[in-house]
Chain A
Amino acid sequence: EPEVTQTPSHQVTQMGQEVILRCVPISNHLYFYWYRQILGQKVEFLVSFYNNEISEKSEIFDDQFSVERPDGSNFTLKIRSTKLEDSAMYFCASSEGGTGSSYEQYFGPGTRLTVT
């Protein structure tokens, strides 16, 4: 069964450093998403991406964050100048169609980011 993959599974970085989290969505999916989940809290929407551009973004997704689909398979989340409060699990998800069209999302296993 096709699945979303994410690398690395755990990333430790120092405050102020830049990190890139990588995701490979399911191959025939067109919509891609990033979420974060601070330990013990709810899953928070960061951004959705379609047709090589951001479709929607939340208030959390400020200038510190950027997303890119550098090639036909990878979808990346870049966090510039990381802060302690960026420590969280970051989930990538993909779907065939948009959630507004009522397609389910398939989540990757997540990348645990620890900022020290």
Chain B
Amino acid sequence: QQPVQSPQAVILREGEDAVINCSSSKALYSVHWYRQKHGEAPVFLMILLKGGEQKGHEKISASFNEKKQQSSLYLTASQLSYSGTYFCGTVEGYTGNQFYFGTGTSLTVIP
């Protein structure tokens, strides 16, 4: 049920790009992405729906491959403020409101 993310951790220099992957063993209706800074609550970044609709952050992009049950989050020209732990979240089918966060990816951006 819990989506698996990769990599577990990544360190970037400012301006570099990163890709975070999220994979589920079950069919997905949608994928949500959240970022959590140390000691703070998760903050919404983006939702991707079946059929290609997206809503969310202007400077962060993501993809959703429904057939492969995977999503990727693309962070380009990273800034120091991008540091944090990124979680994908999945709703398995339109069953209601059971939401599973992924294993998390720790991203550190250094000057």
Contact = CB atoms under 8 A, between A and B. Distances in A.
Contact of A43 (B36, B56, B97): B36
B7 to A, nearest CB: 15
Contacts, number: 71
Interface stretch (B18-26, B65-73, B75-83, B87-95): B87-95
B74 interface: no
Nearest to A50: B97
Contacts of A45: 98-101
B28 to A, nearest CB: 11
Given A56-B95, A100-B95, A102-B30, A42 B102 contact: yes
Contacts of A48: 96-99
Contact of A100 (B36, B42, B96, B100): B96
Interface of A: 31, 33, 35, 42-45, 48, 50, 55-58, 91, 98-100, 102, 104-110
